[in-house]
Amino acid sequence: MRNTDHPDIDAQLKQFGQNIRTARERTGLSQDKLGLDRAAISFLERAERSPDLPTVVRVAHAVEVAPAALLKGVGLRNSVRGPRHTPDPSDTPAIVFGVNLRWARLRAEISQEALALKADVGRAAISVFEHGRRDPNLRTILKLAKALEVPPSMLLNGIEPQDAPLKSSARQLAARLASQPPGRRAGKRARRR
């Protein structure tokens, strides 16, 4: 296990790795039969890497559980339900995570800057996460959950395993912008000319 200056987060990553192994063994699959890189799964199970959100979703799909289920026993164990929204099927995991993060931050009545300081994450990253424009890694999800005093699984509520390989949220955003009429995607540069 990789040790950092956050021993509690390291312990939570170790529990996440154990949850992956338990779910994988329950499905009767070896690391090679998951359809994912065996070495990457091995690193995750040994808590040597912190996966990004799309990887968590792919692993959850491979072991046939919801991504939040892989966080069982990780972090706080209080019963915060999270926002009562039904994600649009076209929403990326990053968008759903962003909705959940914003809801938890507003529930805690703290600003993006205060959350960033408390979680040891950049303030701009909080905004980018809330708008679903970047996929956080699990270490960041755990830090944010701890700072907001919510279970990490609450931040993943509504994110379901997906059949198709995931594109990064940045590529999906670029595709969405490319599909808009030319006048709308011109942006600030075009207006300055």
Residue 84 confidence (pLDDT): 64
For the stretch 15-34, pLDDT in tens is: 999 999 999 999 998 888 88
Supply 101's token pair: 């993060």
CA distance 106 to 108: 5
Domains 7-71 and 93-171 share a fold: yes
d(CA 1, CA 104): 30
Four-CA torsion 60, 64, 66, 69, nearest 10 degrees: -80
pLDDT, one tens digit per residue, over 82-125 is 666 666 767 889 999 999 999 999 999 999 999 999 999 999 99
Whole-model pTM: value is: 0.77
Delimit the domains of the chain by residue range: 7-71, 93-171
* Greater model confidence, 34 or 149: 149
- Nearest CA to 133 among 89, 101, 163? 101
Q: How far apart are CA 27 and CA 20, in angstroms?
A: 11
89 class by beta-carbon count within 10 Å (0-12 exposed, 13-18 middle, 19+ buried) = exposed
The SS3 call for residue 56 is helix
Q: What CATH code is assigned to 93-171?
A: 1.10.260.40
Please state the CATH superfamily assignment of the domain spanning residues 7-71 in this structure: lambda repressor-like DNA-binding domains (1.10.260.40)
